[in-house]
Amino acid sequence: MARYKIINILMLTAILSSCASQFGPFVDRRREAGGLSNGALYVGKSKPDEPAICYNRLYTSFDEVQKLADEECVKNKTGTRATPVKETVFSCRLLVPNHYYFKCEQ
């Protein structure tokens, strides 16, 4: 009987740890297979010069979101820093419901 309790505790721990990784912020951009140009290659709310970051306010600080947006601007060579434009709620995924929109600047 104790063996089943240990197995159940291990299974529950594995499930909870996999769910916790779903709260991380990410750039809201998906790759469209077969797109030849940059305009058709990526779909989603994020553009190379206007990154849109999905995040969960309970688990992610604004500094982390800002850092991710800055890195996106530098990676796309559209600016050196990102300036926040607006924030929306319940417009992304279930576990990361907030969107923060940025504009890349030099």
**How far does the chain reach from its first CA to its final CA, in angstroms?**
64
CB 38 within 8 A of CB 49: no
- Indicate the SS3 state at residue 28: coil
Classify residue 99: in a domain, yes or no: yes
9 inside domain: no
Give domain status of residue 3, yes or no: no
In a domain, 85, yes or no: yes
pLDDT tens string, the chain, 106 residues long: the values are: 688 888 888 887 777 666 656 778 888 876 666 656 655 566 667 788 889 999 999 889 999 999 999 999 999 888 889 999 999 999 888 888 899 999 999 8
- Let me know if residue 8 belongs to a domain: no
**Number of domain units in the chain:** 1
Residue reference for tokens 């063996």? 3
| Residue 28, CB-side half-sphere exposure with 13 Å CA sphere | 20
Q: How many residues does the chain have?
A: 106
Domain assignment present for 5: no
Domain of 32, in residue numbers = 23-105
